[in-house]
Amino acid sequence: MAKEITIYDIAKELKLSPATVSRGLKSSKVISKLTVKRILDKAEELGYRHNNFASNLRKQKSHTIGVLLHELNSNFITSVLAGIEKITTEAGYDIIIAHSSESYEKEVANAMNLFHKRVDGVIASLSFTTKNLDHFKLFFEKNIPVVFFDRVDENSERTHVIIDNYKCGYIATQHLIEQGCKRVAMLTANLKRNVYAQRHRGYTDALFDAGMEYNKNLVLVKDLSEQSALEAAHEILKMKPMPDGLFCTNDFKAAVCMQELKRHGVKVPDDIAIVGFNNDAISKIIDPQLSTINYPGRDMGEITARNLINHLKGVGNIATTNRIIVKSELIIRESSRRQK
């Protein structure tokens, strides 16, 4: 292997001291611009690479943020990552992305891996099966800040960034009732996770406030796969009487379910009005366009990252801000609009 070029090699070539070369590589103003240019040109010529690892060891900082996600195959997560990357890049931090694939065991292993990579802070969204936050104790004990977003442990006092999932579940269901729906079904995911539990609570309360009876048989709890959405559509088709409203807590599942219902002759919104969740791109592509809750992922990513970066820079106290709620709203399109 070729020898790694050091500042001593550059110093020898230019007949300068290693200290001068070190300052030149940082474009220090204490040496002339001409000398800085000579040093930078020679560094490029020799193929010099700055040793970030050694520098970070000296500073006790890695300038790296760990991002621990429950999945990657999601428009929402992609938009969150875009927001995180924007803020971390502006602040001079790199990110390491790890994902649990909805596995608690993998999440624990990834958290340990990030800890040993000496990240300065962590941004995390929990898996479906996460039982507790014990695997983050090492970070807490070392005062390494952790900010949770979207899927969080609401019983924990650790900082988390969320939307008002209860309110969103309520207004989505209320809208379907206002459109004349008398039998509203819900297609959701694991109710042990805060986002789906709160949306479900909003759904039940909207029914109660409208004087409508809650029917557990109308609540379909499925995973986030295409196959599960197809299964849900077939279950809805078999219901007697069939629901005339459907609140789905994920746009992709709503789109797949709607297309399958249409394939079997069901008219949307005349036979069944449908509302999704997230405002993913698919909601504007399908026919009819999907009513949905706008979940601003990029905003969430930026707010989460900015909160963490501010703490790392000593601006504000992460311990005193344990809940940040991002604004969301209902977008009404043709899939649910019955009343003109």
Q: Find how far residue 52's CA is from the centre of its chain.
A: 28
CATH number of the domain where residue 29 is located: 1.10.260.40
pLDDT at 286 exceeding the cut of 80: yes
The verdict on 112 and 256 lying in the same domain is no
The pTM score is 0.79
Q: What is the pLDDT of residues 86-110, one digit of tens each?
A: 999 999 999 999 999 999 999 999 9
Cβ atoms within 10 A of the Cβ of 2, count? 5
Half-sphere exposure of 240 toward its Cβ, with a 13 Å CA cutoff?
Answer: 1
User: What distance in Å separates the CA atoms of residue 273 and residue 291, rounded to the nearest whole number?
Assistant: 9
The verdict on 177 and 78 lying in the same domain is no
User: What distance in Å separates the CA atoms of residue 117 and residue 300, rounded to the nearest whole number?
Assistant: 25
pLDDT at 131 exceeding the cut of 90: no
Q: What is the pLDDT of residues 226-235, one digit of tens each?
A: 999 999 999 9
Q: What is the pLDDT of residues 181-207, one digit of tens each?
A: 999 999 999 898 889 999 999 999 999
Angle 190-191-196 from CA coordinates, rounded to 5°: 90
The verdict on 210 and 149 lying in the same domain is no
Q: What's residue 23's pLDDT?
A: 86
The verdict on 231 and 314 lying in the same domain is no
Q: What's residue 59's pLDDT?
A: 52
Bigger pLDDT: 316 or 239? 239
Choose among 21, 50, 47, 48: nearest CA to 35.
21
User: What distance in Å separates the CA atoms of residue 298 and residue 83, rounded to the nearest whole number?
Assistant: 4
The dihedral over CA atoms of 295, 296, 297, 302, expressed in degrees to the nearest 10, equals -150
The verdict on 125 and 183 lying in the same domain is no
Bigger pLDDT: 53 or 307? 307
The verdict on 148 and 170 lying in the same domain is no
Position 1 in a domain: no
The verdict on 197 and 280 lying in the same domain is yes
Structure tokens at 214: 């809650």
The verdict on 171 and 292 lying in the same domain is yes
Structural domain range at position 120: 61-162+297-326
The verdict on 186 and 291 lying in the same domain is yes
The average pLDDT across 279-295 equals 95
Q: What's residue 254's pLDDT?
A: 96
The verdict on 206 and 320 lying in the same domain is no
pLDDT at 319 exceeding the cut of 60: no
The verdict on 281 and 317 lying in the same domain is no
Q: State the helix-helix crossing angle for 75-90 and 297-312, rounded to 10 degrees.
A: 30
The verdict on 258 and 190 lying in the same domain is yes
Position 336 in a domain: no
Q: What's residue 218's pLDDT?
A: 97
pLDDT over 90, % of the chain: 67
Q: What is the pLDDT of residues 252-284, one digit of tens each?
A: 999 999 999 999 999 999 999 999 999 999 999
Q: Which amino acid is at 52?
A: N
Q: What's residue 192's pLDDT?
A: 87
Helix boundaries (H) for the chain: 7-14, 18-25, 33-46, 52-59, 75-90, 104-116, 137-141, 165-178, 194-209, 226-238, 251-263, 282-285, 297-312
* Number of domains comprising the chain: 3
CATH number of the domain where residue 220 is located: 3.40.50.2300
| Average pLDDT, rounded, for the chain | 90
Mapped onto helix, strand or coil, the DSSP state of residue 260 is helix
Residue reference for tokens 């070729």: 2
Q: What is the pLDDT of residues 17-73, one digit of tens each?
A: 888 888 888 888 888 989 999 988 988 888 887 665 555 544 557 789 999 999 888
Residue 151's pLDDT band, with cuts at 50, 70 and 90, is very high
Q: What's residue 125's pLDDT?
A: 95
